[in-house]
Structure 1
């Protein structure tokens, strides 16, 4: 790796040890398919640090600092890892390790599902956007499924006009595919009978958590606060404060990257610095 001054977003040696085998295996499989078999000159850790830097700071690809590899090179690796599901695989593998460290079975049996509507930039095509009538936001809707620790089990991104039921069904299907052991899910009152019936067909019981009608203003709602906290973790990554991605699959990949950053720190007992008090 080229010598340079480190950035706060750079991955530590301990965290890189968790991630490097997957990326090295991916590159070796790629090299094996090449007629020459020549080794790639680019350092994978530099590439991954550049992606973490972009995810954390929210800059455009062309604005990556010059001490990283060229932004076109970084993007080509990012796009390949996105399209081949490497980010999702890393996130789910690390989630299993984090659950085991917490004394839980690596495979979850329950999930919490929630959605978040975010505004879009000028990049996304109009046919991938919509208007959330309830929140009066033009943009996209993120559907997330987390475990009881708030670790990401599945994520989908769609137009904000898609109903809670449809977004929830999509993310539940993905969660059940990747984690067949799930038999219970908690949701809020925005999810209706259509969602519960679909969950039942998958062998999943739906528990709708209601707010206490006697409490005014903000209150912590049982189980639902876990998914809300996960959405809050995502907001520490400025690339996710608004949806800048042309493709919804890129939006999903950026969420996986943010959670890889979060979960790998959980495993290695490293702190996650915030932007507060840094100026």
Structure 2
């Protein structure tokens, strides 16, 4: 059903063309296995994705979805199923390939940048899933990110904030090496020390620590590391990521993939959405 006044977060026709094949293939596969949601399907996949993007962009609780979307239980059911079946990971990977090719790059990256971001959590996040980042004095969770040299997501791992950067770096490099075997170079900050460098060497990835000049005062763009810092900035335009609201860490990872899908699809179609600073 077409709404008379669409939300700014809704998919355009051009963006839907990018996502539709993967989502339709997922539905066909589910129906083929007798696992379809609704017989026959009662909800339009585009409207479901619009609802998920609305939550990701605005940060509202699932139960607060506007009534012109499908019931929130249905939308969340699709979100959980797509996360479990790896649909969001697949979509972000496919879109990343398209962006790289559109910019004259090889579809498969050969280098990456890794970093971590600690964020506070909401009251519904179990205490056992949280921790304290002693360095940044933040109690909550930590987002470990690996991106290519364009800042596009390669890997994400959400943990308690108490998990060290070394542990996160080892996990990211293992995931990146398995999914992107052409990657042979990685840049990181000084939080990734000997263990990450040694692990990278075993995987055939040269990990280079890029340090900030100790004599520099104030803000200074740090070579290579600025790429992943910019990615964190992109993600924070999605209010659902301003704090970690997800009960389970793998749901948090899905929310990050959805934000990247939103960003990359707009990059491909040359669209933009005003953020709250523009209003």
TM-score (norm 2): 0.97
Cα distance, 1:212 vs structure 2: 1.6
Alignment deviations for residues 13-46 of structure 1 (CA, whole Å, 9 cap, x no partner): 1010000000000001111122999431110000
Question: Secondary structure of 1:276's partner?
Answer: helix
Distance in 1 (CA, whole Å) between partners of 2:245 and 2:209 is 32
Question: Secondary structure of 1:156's partner?
Answer: strand
**Equivalent residues, number:** 278
Question: Secondary structure of 1:232's partner?
Answer: helix
Alignment of 1:173-252 (within 5 A): 173-252=174-253
Q: Which residue of structure 2 lines up, in the alignment, with residue 9 of structure 1?
A: 9
Cα distance, 1:47 vs structure 2: 0.2
Alignment of 1:258-273 (within 5 A): 258-273=259-274
1:245, 1:251 within 8 Å by CA — same for their partners in 2? yes
2:8, 2:273 within 8 Å by CA — same for their partners in 1? no
RMSD: 1.3
Q: In structure 1, list runs of 5 or more residues that go unmatched.
A: none
- Runs (4 or more) in structure 1 with deviation over 6 Å come to none
2:113, 2:149 within 8 Å by CA — same for their partners in 1? yes
2:113, 2:224 within 8 Å by CA — same for their partners in 1? yes
Change (3 A) 1:65 1:198: same
Distance in 2 (CA, whole Å) between partners of 1:113 and 1:35 is 37
Distance in 1 (CA, whole Å) between partners of 2:248 and 2:173 is 21
Distance in 1 (CA, whole Å) between partners of 2:24 and 2:4 is 22
Distance in 1 (CA, whole Å) between partners of 2:251 and 2:263 is 18
Distance in 2 (CA, whole Å) between partners of 1:16 and 1:35 is 24
